[in-house]
Amino acid sequence: QKEVEQDPGPLSVPEGAIVSLNCTYSNSAFQYFMWYRQYSRKGPELLMYTYSSGNKEDGRFTAQVDKSSKYISLFIRDSQPSDSATYLCAMSADGDMRFGAGTRLTVKP
Amino acid sequence: KAGVTQTPRYLIKTRGQQVTLSCSPISGHRSVSWYQQTPGQGLQFLFEYFSETQRNKGNFPGRFSGRQFSNSRSEMNVSTLELGDSALYLCASSSPMRATVVSEQYFGPGTRLTVT
């Protein structure tokens, strides 16, 4: 079993839809949780960074962490075609970083 | 501010050869991390350097090594290349105020290595 599980998709939604991306993990030592967006032929770009359980909102993006369930989510409201990319969850503890496999999202106009 | 730069962007090597990849972090960033990205394994952490010292290391064989120079630029070396080393190698730098690998990282565009 991988330490971080993420459904690779692909996920296709119409413009304006709410998108939910999720990851589960097994290592309870993980303390920091991140979401990255990666466009084709580019490096990952940090979207959200959280430390504790709860919600964090930034514009159309909301990151949710539930440490008791070892489950994190990223919600995208009013999705746009420009949101089409691969979304990677990442988590770390004591300097050790783990990434999910990435979910490929397509938002259709 | 200029972003993270990596050279070369593309590289083709033969099995058994060695390769050196270069990364220039964002100005002022002292932490540089290296990752390998493949379709099958995803993004995997190789190692992290801070102030010329390797501070963290992932689970990769000793053929993978790196170093960091006094200007924070970093190089990664892979010796005795294998077909399975074909991947996108990404470098990421971090702000000096949050000098751990868990901090917000800024990635370069990557070097795509193909081993034939």
pLDDT in tens, A72-103: 999 999 999 999 999 999 988 776 778 999 99
How many CB contacts within 8 angstroms connect chain A with chain B? 51
Closest CA in chain B for residue A33: B102
Question: Are the Cβ atoms of A44 and B101 closer than 8 angstroms?
Answer: no
Q: How far is CA A41 from CA A14, A25, A49, B88, in A?
A: 24, 27, 23, 10
pLDDT per position as a tens digit, B36-69: 999 888 889 999 998 899 988 888 999 999 999 9
pLDDT mean over A18-42? 93
B64 φ/ψ angles, rounded to the nearest 5 degrees: -95, 120
**Nearest chain A residue (CA) to B48:** A95
Using DSSP, state whether B111 is helix, strand or coil. Answer: strand
Q: What is the mean pLDDT of chain A?
A: 92
β-partners of residue B68 are B74
